Amino acid sequence: MKQLSLIMLALFMGCVTFAQTHPYKEKFHFTLGQQDTVGGYTQVIRTGNTIYVSGTVATNITEKDVAYVYKVIEKSLAHFGASLKHVMKETIYTTDIEAMKALNHVRKKAYGGDYPTSTWVQISRLFMPEAKLEIEVVAVLPENK
């Protein structure tokens, strides 16, 4: 009986550990959802109160294109009841960091003065050869959402 109790306890603890290390994922695709099959990624995943938005790209670094990227990110977050104010971490990949720096006012306007942590990286090329800008974010919702 004691051995059975120990085995049951071990199984219970294993289930609790498994549940904690494999949280539920809710996926969302802003576009057609071909990313899972063609590209092998998901545009947006929510697990718990954390939302991960894959890189959103632009083929040019213009005021219009940068604003569009932030609008797409905002719409992706809105699917889960979040907005740019919930963004905690942002990573910007660009093939021309000077052009992006010149348009930082567009980024700042999108965040409305409440800026997340941010890392900017200049790279030689993105996954899509024609892309010049890619921005990914991590957002966290309040506990009650």
| Residue pLDDT, tens place only, 38-70 | 567 778 889 999 999 999 999 999 999 999 999
* CA dist 60 → 15, 22, 43, 94 (Å): 49, 38, 20, 10
Residue 78 burial (10 A CB sphere; 0-12, 13-18, 19+): exposed
| Residue pLDDT, tens place only, 95-119 | 999 999 999 999 999 999 999 999 9
What does pTM read for this prediction?
0.77
CB atoms within 10 A of CB 55: 20
Contact 120, 97 (CB under 8 A): yes
The counts of H helices and E strands in the chain are 4, 6
CB atoms within 10 A of CB 131: 18
What per-residue confidence (pLDDT) applies to 138? 98
Question: Residue 142 is which amino acid?
Answer: P
d(CA 145, CA 7): 37
Contact 35, 21 (CB under 8 A): no
Which tokens belong to 74?
């905002």
Contact 119, 91 (CB under 8 A): yes
Q: For the domain bounded by 24-140, which CATH number is listed? A: 3.30.1330.40
Q: Give me the mean pLDDT over the 11-40 stretch.
A: 51
Q: Residue 8 pLDDT more than 50?
A: no
The residue assigned the tokens 């699917």 is: 79
